[in-house]
Amino acid sequence: MAVSENLVIIPTYNEKENIQRIIRAVFALRTDFDILVIDDNSKDGTASIVKSLQTAFPDQLHIEERMGKLGLGTAYIHGFKWALKRNYGYIFEMDADFSHDPIDLERLLDACKNGGADAAIGSRYVTGVNVVNWPMGRVMMSYFASKYVRIITGMNINDTTAGYMCYKRKVLEAIDLDKIKFIGYAFQIEMKFTSWKLGFNVVEVPVIFTDRSAGESKMISGIFSEAVFGVIELKVKSWFKKYKKLQAPSVIEENTVS
Ligand SMILES: Nc1nc2c(ncn2[C@@H]2O[C@H](COP(=O)(O)OP(=O)(O)OP(=O)(O)O)[C@@H](O)[C@H]2O)c(=O)[nH]1
Ligand SMILES: [Mg+2]
């Protein structure tokens, strides 16, 4: 059973320092959100922490456990499919490490629900650079990476690699999720690019992004080259591809939430 029509997907890999606090922070918001944690067999007991919290938040806190670290992109695809089988109208991506302030979930929701957006990006670069505690090198890298993606793809989006998102159900229904191939930062670019190519209104909501204060980074360097070359690949392929919205499957029978 779902409590809310809003689902926050939180991918985790070794987030024992953060997971309980982030879950409680989401459930403390004025707006109701359900949570789906996608845990990739964390060795530090992240999944057990989630499961022990489930009794406190029945029907509102869900977990999917995968066999191993399969990457952020496939974790989200798994979560999107899970959400679409159920009755969720607004589906969010959020990190576990408090880089994304849960309070902004309400602003992303508002942009989609009342502001005419089909997808809303929690964006670091709408009003300058809103990143706290990152070393200057990383800020520059991320900022210029976003500019680079913008130039190559032609998308009018400042923060193309952002991982804080709200998608309306119809956007995820229209995308052929099995064709999304990237897994790291390029996954975020590919999702935004595909949504934009399909004609959806993708807007940016300014947020402040804070570097993780607890737990370890999981991003590996291969993720960067995937993004650098992946963007060119996305663009070149788009010249030969017809972007067509998938028909939403009939959800009448699927609406029975388990
Ligand atoms: N399920 C799953 N989650 C992952 C995987 N890799 C990263 N995550 C989670 O995805 C979110 C973002 O990863 P981070 O390690 O914070 O990546 P980042 O924000 O670029 O880097 P730092 O904040 O500097 O560590 C966190 O909640 C991670 O636990 C993965 O392979 N599988
Ligand atoms: Mg992080």
Confidence check: pLDDT of 187 > 50? yes
* Distance from the alpha carbon of residue 1 to the mean position of ligand 2, in angstroms: 30
Residue 247 belongs to a domain: no
Residue 133 belongs to a domain: yes
How many DSSP H helices and E strands does the chain contain? 8, 9
- Is the Cβ atom of 212 under 6 angstroms away from ligand 1? yes
Per residue, what are the HEC states of 106-162?
A: HHHHHHHHCCCCCEEEEECCCCCCCEECCCHHHHHHHHHHHHHHHHHHCCCCCCCCC
CATH number at residue 87: 3.90.550.10
Q: What is the pLDDT of residues 192-251, one digit of tens each?
A: 999 999 999 999 999 999 988 888 877 666 677 888 889 999 999 999 988 999 987 655
Residue 98 belongs to a domain: yes
* Distance from the alpha carbon of residue 156 to the mean position of ligand 2, in angstroms: 25
Number of domains in the chain: 1
Domain region containing 121 = 6-240
- Is the Cβ atom of 195 under 6 angstroms away from ligand 1? no
Q: Report pLDDT for 247.
A: 83
- Dihedrals phi, psi of 35, to nearest 5 degrees: -125, 140
Residue 255 belongs to a domain: no
More confident site: 223 or 104: 104
Rounded to an integer, the average pLDDT of 53-75 is: 96
- Is the Cβ atom of 95 under 6 angstroms away from ligand 1? yes
Tell me the ligand closest to 77's alpha carbon. Answer: 1
Q: Report pLDDT for 254.
A: 47
Residue 252 belongs to a domain: no
